Amino acid sequence: IENPIIKMCMFKYFFAFFVLLLSLMKRYRSIKYIRGMVPKERPFVFLESKLAELEITDPPYTVFNFATEAANTVDVIEDELKKKDNKAMRRFKHDLSEKKERTADILVTLLKDALQFFDYERS
C-alpha cells in the first residue's frame, strides 16, 4: 500500500485493536486472580466467621427438614389454589346473577313493548 493516509488509518485501527485486546486480557487475568484467591474448600469463610462472632449456629439440615419444607410448600400452593378457585367461583356466580337480571329486564321491556304494540293495533 503506497498511500500514507491509508497506512496511517490502518496503523490506527491496528493499534486500537491491540489496545482492546490487551485490556480484555488484563481483565480476564484480574477476574481469574480474584477467583483464585477464594479457597475452593471454604468459599463462605467470611460468612462463617461473622456467624461465629454473632454466636449464631445452624441446626443440622436433615431429610426431615427438607420433607417438612416440601410439605409446607405444597400446603401453601394448595391454599393459594383454593383461594383462587373460590374467588373465580364467586366472580362467576356474580356475573351469572348479573346476566340473569339483565335478561329478565330485557324480557320485561320486550313483553311490555309487545303488549303496547298489539293494544295499539286493536284500537
Plot region of 116 (φ>0 → left; ψ -120 to 50 → alpha; else → beta)? alpha
Q: Residue 40 has what DSSP assignment? A: S
State the pTM of this model: 0.37
- Residues 60-110: pLDDT tens digits? 656 666 677 777 788 888 889 999 999 999 999 999 999 999 999 999 999
Q: Say yes or no to pLDDT of 54 above 60.
A: yes
What local confidence, expressed as pLDDT, does residue 96 receive?
95
- Residues 3-46: pLDDT tens digits? 888 888 888 988 999 888 888 777 666 555 555 555 555 655 65
- Residues 17-29: pLDDT tens digits? 988 888 877 766 6
3-state helix, strand, coil in the chain (%, to 5): 85, 0, 15
